[in-house]
Amino acid sequence: MLGFKVEKGKLKILQLEIGTLSEGKEKNYEKIKRKFSDIVAKEIERIAEKNFPGLKYEWIKQYVVVPCPSEIDQELKEKLERENIKVLSIDEFYEQVKQKIKEWKENNRTKKNIKPTLPNNLWMLKLIEAHEKLFYP
């Protein structure tokens, strides 16, 4: 998944890849690195420049592991973090999304201090929010 957002005159690029850790440590490392390869990076830069010419950017690279083993190998995580790739379990990613929803709601209160609902075009986030209310009241 690829997302672009202009914030305070700067472009934020989110490159989110989802996959497994089904092989040995070195093969997993190589597989993940390919998802963020120079060829992929050049294409993303081309898209960014075409749609947001001249903006400086911050590039966030995340790899979400599904299904997640009980624990992600710390050495693999650290090695990829040195390459600016953050490895998250699906649970960590889910918590990150929930936190973003909470922040959005806090920053978009109405004059009557009523918590706003997410816009209809953010249906996937609304689904996560409904799941949360239903299963974790």
Using a cut of 0.75, tell me whether the model's pTM lies above it: yes
Where in the chain are the domains?
2-135
65-81 residue pLDDT tens: 987 666 788 899 999 99
The residue-averaged pLDDT of 81-105 equals 89
Q: Round the average pLDDT of the chain to a whole number and report it.
A: 87
pLDDT of 112 above 80: no
What are the angstrom distances between the C-alpha of 132 and each of 33, 64, 78, 103, 118? 33, 20, 31, 15, 14
- pLDDT at residue 12 in the model: 93
